[in-house]
Structure formats: structure tokens, C-alpha cells
Structure 1
Amino acid sequence: MGDLSSTRRGAAAFLDNLPVDDPHAAIGQQNWITRWTKIGDEYCLLGDLNIKKGAFDEATDAWLCALTAFETARRLVDQDDPRSVDVLAKVDGGIQRFELSLAQKIERVKITCCDHAELSAYYLPAGSPDLPASAVICISMEQETGATLLGRLLPVVIGRGMSLLVITHDDVSSHSRGKSEALLSFCLDYLSARRDVDDTRIGVYGEAFSAVLATEFAVSDGRLAAAVCDGGLWNWARIVASVDWLTRTANIALENDAISARRLQFIRQLRCPVLVVAGGRGIVSVSEATKLQAYCMAARIDLELALPRMIRSPGRGIENFVTSDDCIFGWLEHKLALNSHQYVVGQDNQIT
């Protein structure tokens, strides 16, 4: 038991040191799921006791520690494990507890879109009418609720001075291409109209297939100041595969030149700084992202690359979400700062 900073350091160290290639690793992992869930429960109890005493800051810190613990447990649970439902329910309960705090409120908002349709979202304010803050539109992964993403990000963004608007992937991706970008533009309109948001410092964040949505949105709406996305690599890869299948060209040199030109054509449509997260649970391959970064450096395009640390586990890989999220939102914090300067991920492109 400790404060939020020590809890996150402990979770990151635990994930980095998960045993691998151990015949008893699977059994140990089940025990750790139980242990991290219990840690979360204990922090929830501590937060409840603090809120009864009127110690709102201490209660908030405890509940954020609980959300970190539950997210750690969630990373260890297989999707078909019955305990995954229980852990997700605990995340939802942690958010509801956080809403009791007077330190920082979560708003459940409805964003009016075209044809009078409404998009549900969570909004975490960080600014005020006298001191507007930067803001980030966060799109959950496919088959992930907005509440699950919010529970993971709350401990990351507290104290960074940025507001969050969290929406669900399925609410956006269920629409046709063009319509999805329009829905995200309505989200940007909503933030721009708020007096507690600086409309010149709004970014977008998406991972896995939501990174594709974030790229298409950044291309279609030039008001964005930063984007964590796939850099166009997903759509570019599909086009290259189609062209290769149709032409069956034997001129490798000409083919490579065409591929390079096409890669740059995609990225030049993005008019804001870009962070591409490659490998891990995402859809962007490390090799293609590395090539894209090299081309962008030569063309003086503001694109940076980050590689999440993955820990091998029986049957799958587990991402160290603590270091990954800290890096991504550190990059966003700097890019969306009033006096923005370049934020370097690391010489080896590793998220640290």
C-alpha cells in the first residue's frame, strides 16, 4: 500500500519481471490475478474510509491506485476466463467511487451529431474558463468499453493538466467511412465550444484499429494539434498488397520507389505532430513503422515512434501498460503544451 506514484512503479516493475519459460508460470499467474485484485479491493476500502472522513484528495489517490491494480489484474486474465467479467465490474466500481470525489469530476456527456443522433462519452475536465486546458479525444480499442479505457487512463492523466473525452470504438466504427470522421469532428466541435478547453490544443489518441480511425480523423480535420495513430500504415499496407497482386511487377527497384512515394503521400496528409505506437497489441508492424520514421526524418516530418515493452507469458504477450501509457501521455502533454517542444521517446525507440 502506498501513493499513486509508488503503486504504478510497483505495477510496472511487476509486469517487467513476470516469469517466462517457467513450467509453473501459469499457476503463478493465476495467483497474481487474485493478489492484484485483492490489492485493488484494499485500496477501494481505504478510499471509502477517507471519503467518510472528508479527506477527498487521499480518497482520490486511493481509488486511482485501485484502478491501476485492477488494470494489472485485467492484463493477466484471459478473455475467456470468468474472472475477466468480475475485474471489469471492479473497474466500473472504481470509476463510480472516483465520481464521489470533490477533487475532480467525471461528466457523462451526450454529443449531438448529424441527424440529431447522440454520442455518449465520458469527459474529465482539467481546466477552467479562466485557465483553459489542452484536451485529448480518446477512442477505446475494439471490443473495449469507454469505461474500461477511462479506468486505465485516469491514473495517467491526473496532474498533467489535460482534459479527456473518452468514447467507445464501436460507437464510431459502426458507421461508414467518412461518417466516422464526421462523428469525431463533432467531438472536436464539442470540446472547442467548452470554455475550459483551449481549442488550439486538442489531440486524438487511438490504439489498435482505433489508431486507424485516429489517422483518418487527423487527415480530415486540420484543427488537431497532435495525434497518436497508425500514421496511415494500415490503409497503405492494404493498397500496396492490392497493387502488388494486380501488377506482379518484376522491377523491384521501381516497386520500392513506388512504395516509398506512397508511404510519404499518406503521412504528408497529416498536418500535426504524430506518434506511432508499433508492435505490442497494436496493428502496426515494427519494421514498417521503422521505415516510415526513417522517411519522415528525411522529409522533416514530425513523426515519432514508440515500441511498447511486451512480456512473454504462457500462450500470449502482456504489455507493460504503465510505461506505455506514461510515455504516450507524456508525449501528448508536451505536444499540447502552451510552449510546445519536441518530446523524445528514446534513442532506441523503446517506451521507458
Structure 2
Amino acid sequence: MERAAYSEAISDLVSTRRGAAMFLRNLAADGICGSRTRQHWAAKWTNIGDAHQLRSDLTFKMGPCDQAAEDGLCALTAFEVARRLIDEESPNSQDISAKVEAIARQLVSFRGRKIERLQIACCEPSDFSAYYWSARESDLRTPAVICISKEGETAATLLGRLLPVVIGRGLSILTVSHDHVSHCPHCKSTFMLSCCLDYLSERPDIDARQIGVYGEGLSAATATELAASDRRVTAAVCDAGLWNWVRLLASVEWMTKAADVIDSDVGSTRRSLLLRQLRCPALVVAGGSGIVSVEEAATLKAECMTRHVDLEVIIPQMIRTRSGDIENFVTCDEDVFKWLELKLAHG
């Protein structure tokens, strides 16, 4: 079994992620559309993940080292590809999520920096758990990003996906679950996330002047609210207020029973007010599995260029198959954290 594992786990992290991106990019072109074919490739990527995880475990028995950590990161990427190919309701999907969480909890990162599982102090009894990974390698403080998962995703699963992306970027990350933040009956989401800002600001390894926020799915709207309400946020990957704007339009249309009741000038003014509240550079991920449409993001981008507002838009590659759309998370995550690195670590 060990020999088989070493034969499967022959690539390093860069090669594994390059192969994952290429595989996802070529899904439709290669005809990997039917459920049987997807199951085959899901099993293949699961085997690759298992092989890297086993090799990581074997190496860790001889003592923590960079090779063991790199195999763990390779396993996380492989498992994420498999998870995208399997139906979310499948027991196999739950098994893979459990493997990702196990690696994320026990992984010792490069140069011995460990992942910390935290309880963020908030209003009683609303303390909530989070995961923290520090990028600090010297006495210098590093920027940090609060990463909020999409609906139904745990903080550990998000950490497992993002760890291979942030390694080497000089960014520390704190991951929290959308469900923990948004479903608390005692506190508002922005208050709970401000508690995360309090925690990071007090850490001796964090530069409190360079803290960003990144929200996925509905958490993109929550990230906007935090950036608009707390001046300590210096970069935001968010929806720039578009989700609330679309909901407002839908409500007005429903009440008036008429479409196009808000003219373009009023709409432009409203979006301008939302943007001024942000007070920090923003990145909007449009299309794909997010909550912002490409058309809305394009209109917003044009207005930002006119008003000299620092806002950028990226559109993740979506692969359309008969069994549903699959997002090329590898390239999208690279683009998002390249932008965060530019705005924070190099800002």
C-alpha cells in the first residue's frame, strides 16, 4: 500500500495545482460530462489525495518537515477537485470533507507554524470557533485576511482549500463559517466579524493596519457590510453592495407590480453611495457560483472607473456539463489572493 501511495503522490504542490487547474479547464472539452465519467475522475482525484495524505503521515512520523507539509497541501487540492465532481448530498462528499477537515486540523505548516483552532470572544453565549494560520517568518508583522465561507461550508473546509493558495504570499488567514456568523440570534454578523478584527489587531504577529476581508457566496454581502462599517478593513473581496441593491429593486418591482421603476440616474446615485461607504479597495467576483451577475458587475465597474473608485472585477471560469456547472476554483483563488497580496502585503 505504501509503495502504491508513493507512485500516486509523485508531484509537488505547484505541479498538483497546475494539473488541477488544467483538468478543470478541459472538463467540457474532454467530454467529462456524464455522471459515470465524473464518478471515475472523482475517484481518481480522491486516490491522489489519499496517496499524498498517506505519504504525509509517513513522513510526519519521522518528524515535522516541509515535505510532509507539502504532501498535506497537495492532498487538500486533490480532495477539493474530487469534492467539486461529487454531488454534495453523496456520502462520498461527506467523507472527503471529513478528510479535508482532518488534514486542516493536524497539518503543521512550513517552518513549523501550526494551525490554531480558536474561540473568538463575542457576546455571551455567542463565542464561535475559527481557524488561524500565521504567515509570520520573522519579527516583522504580516497582513491578515478574514475569510468567510459560503453557505453550508465549514471554516475547516474553507481553510483546507485556501491553505495551498496562501503559502508563500505573506498573508495570514482567519477562516470562519458563514453559518456561525449569520445564524446567531444574539449578535449581528458585522459585530461578530468586528470581534475577529479585534482579535487580529491584538495579535503580535499581525499588522493591524493591513487587514482584509474575503466573503464567498452570500458572505460576499456580509464582507461588504463589514468593510462599510469598520474602517480597520483595508481591502475587501465582496459584492460591493450589489446584493442588497438587487433585493431592493426586486422589492420595489414587487410592490409596484412594474419593472424599471427606478431610473438609471437614481440607480447610479445609489451605487455611488454604497461604494463611498466602503472606503477601501474592493474586488468583486462576478458570475459563477457567486451572488453577483456579470452584467451588474460590469455596470458597477464602469461607474467606478468614471468616479476613480478602486474597484476591480474578476469572472471565474465556469465549466458547463450536463451534470451541472463546475467552477475552476484553482485559478479563481489564485486571482483573488494575488489581488489581496497586492493590496495588503505589497500595499
TM-score greater than 0.5 by the shorter chain:
yes
Summarize the Cα distance change of 1:114–1:97 in structure 2 as closer, same or farther, 3 Å threshold: closer
Could you tell me which residue of structure 1 aligns to residue 87 of structure 2? 78
Deviation at 1:97, TM superposition (A): 3.9
- Residues 246-286 of structure 1 show CA distances to partners (whole Å, capped at 9, x for unaligned) of 4567997x711111111211111101100000111111111
1:32 aligns with 2:35: no
Could you tell me which residue of structure 2 aligns to residue 350 of structure 1? none
Q: For residue 336 of structure 1, give the secondary structure of its aligned residue in structure 2.
A: helix
Separation of aligned partners in 2, 1:172 and 1:55: 34
Could you tell me which residue of structure 2 aligns to residue 180 of structure 1? 189
1:93 aligns with 2:93: no
Residue 343 of structure 2, aligned match among 325, 335, 349: 335
Deviation at 1:100, TM superposition (A): 8.1
Could you tell me which residue of structure 1 aligns to residue 156 of structure 2? 147
TM-score (norm 1): 0.90
Residue 132 of structure 1, aligned match among 141, 147, 150: 141
Q: Is this contact kept in 1: 2:33–2:323, CA < 8 A?
A: no
Q: Is this contact kept in 1: 2:283–2:313, CA < 8 A?
A: yes
Separation of aligned partners in 2, 1:24 and 1:100: 36
- Residues 12-36 of structure 1 show CA distances to partners (whole Å, capped at 9, x for unaligned) of 0000011359497322111001100
Q: Is this contact kept in 1: 2:221–2:238, CA < 8 A?
A: yes
User: Which has the larger displacement, 85-94 or 217-226?
Assistant: 85-94
Separation of aligned partners in 2, 1:182 and 1:299: 30
- Residues 59-109 of structure 1 show CA distances to partners (whole Å, capped at 9, x for unaligned) of 000110000000000000011222111111111222244148763210111
Q: Is this contact kept in 2: 1:36–1:70, CA < 8 A?
A: yes
Summarize the Cα distance change of 1:321–1:87 in structure 2 as closer, same or farther, 3 Å threshold: same
1:287 aligns with 2:328: no
Residue 191 of structure 1, aligned match among 189, 195, 200: 200
Summarize the Cα distance change of 1:24–1:151 in structure 2 as closer, same or farther, 3 Å threshold: closer
1:297 aligns with 2:305: yes
1:7 aligns with 2:16: yes
Mind listing any 5+ residue stretches in structure 1 that lack a counterpart? 341-352
Separation of aligned partners in 2, 1:180 and 1:233: 18
User: Which has the larger displacement, 24-33 or 175-184?
Assistant: 175-184
Q: For residue 204 of structure 1, give the secondary structure of its aligned residue in structure 2.
A: strand
Summarize the Cα distance change of 1:326–1:245 in structure 2 as closer, same or farther, 3 Å threshold: same
- Residues 154-186 of structure 1 show CA distances to partners (whole Å, capped at 9, x for unaligned) of 101111111111111111101369721111101
Separation of aligned partners in 2, 1:144 and 1:226: 23
Separation of aligned partners in 2, 1:100 and 1:239: 45
- Residues 228-257 of structure 1 show CA distances to partners (whole Å, capped at 9, x for unaligned) of 0011001011112223444567997x7111
Q: Is this contact kept in 2: 1:236–1:266, CA < 8 A?
A: no
Q: For residue 68 of structure 2, give the secondary structure of its aligned residue in structure 1.
A: helix
Could you tell me which residue of structure 2 aligns to residue 344 of structure 1? none
Q: Is this contact kept in 2: 1:106–1:124, CA < 8 A?
A: yes
Residue 209 of structure 2, aligned match among 172, 178, 200: 200
Q: For residue 225 of structure 1, give the secondary structure of its aligned residue in structure 2.
A: strand
Summarize the Cα distance change of 1:250–1:80 in structure 2 as closer, same or farther, 3 Å threshold: closer
Separation of aligned partners in 2, 1:97 and 1:171: 22
Separation of aligned partners in 1, 2:241 and 2:232: 18
TM-score (norm 2): 0.92
Could you tell me which residue of structure 1 aligns to residue 4 of structure 2? none
- Residues 125-161 of structure 1 show CA distances to partners (whole Å, capped at 9, x for unaligned) of 1126821000000111111111110110010111111
Residue 218 of structure 2, aligned match among 172, 189, 209: 209
Could you tell me which residue of structure 2 aligns to residue 323 of structure 1? 331
Q: For residue 93 of structure 2, give the secondary structure of its aligned residue in structure 1.
A: helix
Summarize the Cα distance change of 1:129–1:48 in structure 2 as closer, same or farther, 3 Å threshold: closer
Q: Is this contact kept in 2: 1:280–1:307, CA < 8 A?
A: yes
Q: How many residues align?
A: 338
Deviation at 1:10, TM superposition (A): 0.3
CA RMSD of aligned residues (A): 2.1
Could you tell me which residue of structure 2 aligns to residue 270 of structure 1? 278
1:66 aligns with 2:75: yes
Could you tell me which residue of structure 2 aligns to residue 312 of structure 1? 320
